[in-house]
Structure 1
């Protein structure tokens, strides 16, 4: 009997390959944060910032396909779990935990920490952009009742900023949100 192989569409392949690259990139971010925590320096903090900004490119690459291809992607994610979320990835969860280690950077490397916080903002907004492109203002698999892009740009970005010690940037986000209401 001939062996069956499953051939992915170009869109599905891009999505999967992009996410595999992204998860490898996340591991690099965790290692860069670890290096910063062991021997803090502005250069090491800038390495973390550069890697964060690189993750934006990974997101853009993974999502660079025609909109119709997203139906397959969403169905594939739902097969993993009906409430699928990126935080199911152990590496992603570890990265979010490791943001706490960046708090001390604010005191010793204020300017570099500001660049780091701006990069976090860029990452969350890029994720929201990709999300909005495919689901508009509807929900994610994990939060179907909530505007997914807005949730990324507000609650999740704010939590990341606070966790990383960028409280002033989080307050600015709150002020902008109040002005938008």
Structure 2
């Protein structure tokens, strides 16, 4: 059996307060230009081949990423989650690292989707690909983005064998990449609102909306297999001795930082000028749909009444109710009752 491959991610706490503070490497700009110029509606195999060739170029343009010093360690729970998913944190060349992580994660899911197919429809698959498109635009200086994902046919089925554990693992990689893109977009949005730059603020919030819809589709892809496959391949990895003792969905470091940024932006979200209200509504809708997708996948495997497998020894609140409560709390950072009109 081959050894699991490490997946390198940035330390989310080190993501800068604005895109303009992110040093963009020349090869990052070149790679981004290639992918952004690529028609999203071309056949999936052609898109994947282009992505693979660009990823190969990135991998040969540098000597690899190094593991971050101990000073950048997260909590014990953060470390346990990273260990379980073979995630290695790095502080090297942030723009190159974010781009490489994104392309690597999408390379993984394209391979799995082309081998086993997917139940995602044209809208959901289009949102997933368009979210990568939106994330890449963070590396560009242009200020135009509309959340208008195309309908994209998902990969054609090659066989009926789906690797549940691969989808579970690689789907989480995509989620972490999206969290980092959201952190950068929301921080940039917050700074542009504070500087009274309405046009730029709208741009970054629209980027965040597209990425958030990608989160919704990534959740669905992560659980895109049968209950029997979950029981056989995924469930055993979620409990000791395979899973570290502090592993929990509540300990994803990138998501923790995203929630922190949403809380830090709450006052700005709820005092936006009127010409940003439509963009806020779109982001709110995308976030709401993301929580619904997470709940859908969760109840598919643990039911409506049971706590999640990782939390059942800590509390008996059902996974569905926990996610509903999280949804209300997180949506409140974008809208409070006084602003929901």
TM-score by length of 1: 0.80
Matches within 5 A, 1:1-181: 4-5=1-2, 10-40=163-193, 41-71=201-231, 72-78=233-239, 79-82=242-245, 84-103=247-266, 104-108=268-272, 109-137=276-304, 138-144=306-312, 145-153=316-324, 155-162=325-332, 164-168=333-337
Where in structure 1 are there 5+ consecutive unaligned residues? 173-181
What RMSD in Å do the two structures reach over aligned CA positions?
2.5
C-alpha displacement of 1:66: 1.7
* Corresponding pairs, count: 166
Larger RCO: Structure 1 or Structure 2 (Cα < 8 Å, ≥ 6 residues apart)? 1
| 1-structure distance, mates of 2:330, 2:219 | 18
Asked if the contact 2:269–2:335 (Cα under 8 Å) also holds between the matched residues in 1, the reply is no
Asked if the contact 1:27–1:91 (Cα under 8 Å) also holds between the matched residues in 2, the reply is yes
Q: Which consecutive segments of 4 or more residues in structure 1 shift more than 4 A?
A: 169-172
Where in structure 2 are there 5+ consecutive unaligned residues? 5-161, 194-200
Asked if the contact 1:32–1:48 (Cα under 8 Å) also holds between the matched residues in 2, the reply is yes
C-alpha displacement of 1:114: 2.0
Cα deviation 1:23-76 (Å, max 9, x = unaligned): 111111111112112223122112111111110111111111121121232221
More helix by share: 1
Asked if the contact 2:270–2:339 (Cα under 8 Å) also holds between the matched residues in 1, the reply is no
| 1-structure distance, mates of 2:168, 2:213 | 19
